Amino acid sequence: MRFVTIRLRGIALLLALAVALLPACLFAHYTDAAAVWWSSGARSLPVYSVERQDNKIAISFDCAWGADYTRAILEHLAAANVRATFFCVQFWAETYPDVLKEIADAGHEVGTHSATHSYMSRLSEQQIRDELTSSCAAIEAVTGKKVDLFRPPYGDYDDLLIDTSLDMGILPIQWDVDSLDWKDLSAQEIVSRIAEHTKSGSVILCHNNGLHTAEALPAVIDSLRAKGFTFVPIGELVYRENYTIDATGRQIPGGA
């Protein structure tokens, strides 16, 4: 009888744990965010998406490894008259300054993706400031435009990173729609994933050197426009002041 009682208690504990974790699992599934942080207290959060009723969305490209498909992406964006946001690592910007200048000259927005593409939650405040200062300066030297958006590498962050970025006047940005193009999905799989999860105020994550990203882009744009969405750079999607961020990382206009 004692064995049965202990076993029943163990089952009850497992069920309680499953119920407790269910909201986090559902959030990760429906938002497609790669790094969602949960704790018993309030956290400093980047912007995952934006509360909007006008069907505006943003598509973004992380630039860290290679540039083979970047010009094809730029050609498709130009053909569709879409302006996007590119997050560039400093060493990428320094390796491909001509490509970076083409991105900026085409009217696209450029943010920093750090200097070294490290796990920045492991850095001190001074190291974070050095990464952001150095990478912004490298990008601005090529584009001639101020950098005020930042995407943490690997989607990795903590309170210190977010608070430091905001203190420097740089808005940290995540995403709520992950194309998973870095997994070398087919063009159709990329289109389907993005079309399924995008909603008004969504931030879409792609990569400039994804194997099938450029190939998928025209269909992505067409499918989302057919649903009534309008593309804008992230800087035109987000709110800069008088906003709150809910537990899912959704930016909401209005003060607390």
108, 113, 117, 207: the catalytic one is 207
**Residues 71/103, Cβ–Cβ less than 8 Å:** no
**Residues 229/82, Cβ–Cβ less than 8 Å:** no
Is 62 in the active site? Answer: yes
Neighbour count for residue 189 (Cβ, 10 Å): 16
Q: Tokens 């193009």 belong to which residue?
A: 181
Is 207 in the active site? Answer: yes
For the stretch 136-154, what's the b/e string if a residue is b when 16 or more beta carbons lie within 10 angstroms of its beta carbon? bebbbebbeeebebbbbbe
The residue type found at 63 is: C
62, 158, 176, 181: the catalytic one is 62
In degrees to the nearest 10, what's the CA dihedral of 197, 174, 56, 207? -70
Neighbour count for residue 23 (Cβ, 10 Å): 11
**Residues 235/148, Cβ–Cβ less than 8 Å:** yes
**Rounded Cα–Cα distance for residues 256 and 253 (Å):** 9
**Residues 111/237, Cβ–Cβ less than 8 Å:** no
Residue 250, helix vs strand vs coil:
strand
**Residues 157/172, Cβ–Cβ less than 8 Å:** yes
Q: Tokens 């987000």 belong to which residue?
A: 238
Closest CA to 152 of 91, 87, 198: 87
Which residues are tagged catalytic? 62, 207
